[in-house]
């Protein structure tokens, strides 16, 4: 059982690193990619305490970005269109062999990115809607 802790550390490092990388890639899209960066950072900070100092600033920015990503119907539509474009690109890259880096490994990663984008978008929308409902109950602006 001596391999347990090193294996766990490597596994969490790979998962956390992958979340951060995918999150950074999603930052160029209109969706809430910073939330994925935060998730990766939280995973990494659980094994590397020195990274904990970056969690709160990233959390603050991620929550603000999540709220902004669903602040208007136009932004929501842009996020949905970006997700659909990623999904379509994944299908195309998986089926059209003449494209560079074609194949299902590339196609699957694009499809997975679209699913992550949709999941984060839904989470952000629900969070903002719940926050508005709570502030509306206390007499604040909705």
- Angle, CA 80 vertex, CA 66 and CA 19 arms, to 5°: 55
Q: What is the pLDDT of residues 44-76, one digit of tens each?
A: 999 999 999 999 999 998 888 878 878 889 989
pLDDT at 87 over 90: yes
Query: Three-class SS of residue 6?
Result: helix
pLDDT at 139 over 80: no
Q: What is the pLDDT of residues 4-43, one digit of tens each?
A: 888 888 988 998 898 888 788 877 765 567 888 898 999 9
**Reduced 3-state DSSP string for 63-90:** HHHHHHHCCCHHHHHHHHHHHHHHHHHH
Look at residue 133 in the predicted model and tell me its pLDDT: 78
Query: Model pTM?
Result: 0.65
Kindly state the tokens that stand for 62.
């991620």
pLDDT at 142 over 50: no
Beta strands in the chain (DSSP E): none
Look at residue 36 in the predicted model and tell me its pLDDT: 83
Query: Three-class SS of residue 113?
Result: helix
Look at residue 3 in the predicted model and tell me its pLDDT: 64
């Amino acid at each position: 059982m001596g391999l347990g802790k090193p294996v766990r550390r490597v596994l969490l490092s790979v998962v956390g690193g992958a979340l951060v990388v995918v999150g950074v890639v999603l930052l160029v899209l209109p969706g809430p990619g910073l939330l994925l960066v935060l998730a990766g950072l939280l995973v990494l900070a659980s094994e590397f305490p020195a990274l904990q100092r970056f969690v709160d600033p990233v959390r603050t920015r991620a929550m603000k970005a999540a709220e902004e990503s669903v602040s208007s119907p136009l932004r929501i539509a842009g996020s949905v269109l970006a997700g659909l474009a990623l999904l379509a690109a994944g299908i195309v890259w998986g089926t059209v062999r003449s494209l560079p880096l074609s194949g299902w490994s590339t196609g699957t990663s694009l499809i997975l990115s679209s699913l992550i984008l949709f999941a984060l978008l839904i989470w952000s929308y629900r969070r903002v809607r719940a926050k508005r409902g709570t502030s509306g109950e206390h007499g604040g602006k909705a």
